[in-house]
Structure 1
Amino acid sequence: MALLDTTIKRTTTIGGAILALTLAGCESRARQDPFPRANSLSAAQMPAVSSAHMYHASTKTETSSPVAYHEPPTFSFADRPLSENITTALELADYRQALRQAGMFPRLGRNGPFTVFAMPNEPFERYAAQIPGGLMAPANARQLQQLLGYSIIRGNWTPQRLTRAMARLKSDKIGLKTLSGDMMIIQRESATGQFVLSNQTGRIVKLWLNGAPQSNGTLYITQDILPPRG
């Protein structure tokens, strides 16, 4: 469903102008059904980088870890919804489990559309361990929902759409409102031309997967955790 009532707000920060796009529109709550859509062979290989830290060699009492051998590649298919492609990605196992625990995963199986900045296993586990009691503890449910909500944006923000928006607004930065209510800043690096993300405190995170098409949106995979603040 098309976005409605798009307004542009201009704010100024140190180092340049940030153009914040506040989107108020329709989000379909219907379940995404990809079968009526035309089949597509378009696919993007998803990164698999965090499992290396899980490997341990065989000892006298213990066999090698399950990821001792080369792990098979996983792909994001353009004709499948976010929920399915995230489920098949070994690199996003912790992110998927967190979404399920927070009750947010079914949303990614709806028509949306949604833009997701998914978090890989190793950075997610490292961040979760720093939270007193653990990020997945019931006592930290609100913090978990805020972190996950900050990784999802309503609308289909493909790399091409981001590029067109920056060109139209004559800026290398735009701010998009996330499900948590906080603004995420997306910026194009002048040296590399790559997109990077930043939060309200200026923390910057790079991307591993730069916008894989989904039947109900677009999937990015970050290189690190980006909380709304801190």
Structure 2
Amino acid sequence: MLHARKTFVTAVTVIAISCSAASLIAQKDPDVGGSPMYANKNIVQNAVNSKDHTTLVAAVKAAGLVDTLQSAGPFTVFAPVNAAFEKLPAGTVDTLLKPENKDQLVKILTYHVVAGKVSSADLVKMIKMGGGKAELKTVEGGKLIASIDDGKVILTDEKGGTATVTIADVFQSNGVIHVVDSVLLPN
């Protein structure tokens, strides 16, 4: 009985130390696009410093979404890197940035946003509870399907395109960013 109690106390101590270490690691401001992303700054304040998100920032400005993404939120943003925009057909980004295409740009950008703060742990839990898939309702009103493949979170858009989360849990004062490698498109 004494041995079992010592084993239990040791196990609890190891778990407590592990949790403390994990929380210290989670508090570090991760680098995205060569710049630290500070948890006390909002989504826009951080994104403008990422050299990997210059196209996204330009699109957010052109769409008039800066004030929204600086508001209290919270928001979960699946943020495509510049290379993701480069995968689109030639001329697509330039066309979307034109004032006459603002509505379409807003639709695409808000399709990358989910209301609330969904961490990677929350997302994985939702996927497991959903039998391998989780349906996320976007601010645009559409759906993204999240799944796990080879240990990575994959998002599938309404057109069947996919994006992989390459950097998860970039916490912001008004939500969380998950960096993705492709642009997701609504119907």
Establish whether TM, by shorter chain, passes 0.5: yes
Match for 2:110: what amino acid?
Answer: G
The aligned runs of 1:120-159 (5 Å cut-off) are 120-127=81-88, 129-131=90-92, 134-159=95-120
- Which of 155, 172, 177 is the aligned partner of 2:137? 177
The aligned runs of 1:99-118 (5 Å cut-off) are 99-118=60-79
| Aligned twin of 2:53 | 92
Counterparts of 1:84 and 1:125 in 2: how far apart (Å)? 24
Counterparts of 2:124 and 2:84 in 1: how far apart (Å)? 28
Counterparts of 2:174 and 2:109 in 1: how far apart (Å)? 18
Match for 1:178: what amino acid?
Answer: T
| Aligned twin of 2:153 | 195
Q: 5+ residue gaps in structure 1?
A: 1-39, 49-72
Counterparts of 2:49 and 2:94 in 1: how far apart (Å)? 29
Counterparts of 1:125 and 1:170 in 2: how far apart (Å)? 33
| Aligned twin of 2:181 | 223
Q: 5+ residue gaps in structure 2?
A: 1-25
- Which of 10, 18, 43 is the aligned partner of 1:82? 43
Match for 1:182: what amino acid?
Answer: G
Change beyond 3 A, Cα 1:151–1:128: farther
Is residue 45 of structure 1 aligned with residue 31 of structure 2?
yes
The answer to which structure has the higher helix fraction is 2
Aligned residues: 162
- What is the TM-score of this pair, normalised by structure 1? 0.65
Match for 1:42: what amino acid?
Answer: K
Identity across matched positions, percent: 25
What's the C-alpha RMSD, in Å, of the aligned pairs? 2.1
- What is the TM-score of this pair, normalised by structure 2? 0.78
Change beyond 3 A, Cα 1:44–1:187: same
In the TM superposition, residue 100 of structure 1 has moved relative to its aligned partner by 1.1
In the TM superposition, residue 132 of structure 1 has moved relative to its aligned partner by 9.4
Change beyond 3 A, Cα 1:132–1:82: closer
Match for 1:88: what amino acid?
Answer: N
| Aligned twin of 2:9 | none
Alpha-carbon displacement from aligned partner over 1:5-59 (angstroms, at most 9, x marks no partner): xxxxxxxxxxxxxxxxxxxxxxxxxxxxxxxxxxx9621121x4xxxxxxxxxxx
In the TM superposition, residue 133 of structure 1 has moved relative to its aligned partner by 6.8
The answer to whether the 8 A contact 1:128-1:135 is kept is no
The answer to whether the 8 A contact 2:85-2:93 is kept is no
Alpha-carbon displacement from aligned partner over 1:179-229 (angstroms, at most 9, x marks no partner): 11110111111xx22101101232111122122111211101111111114
Match for 1:177: what amino acid?
Answer: K
Counterparts of 1:132 and 1:93 in 2: how far apart (Å)? 12
Structure 1 runs of 4+ with >4 Å offset: none
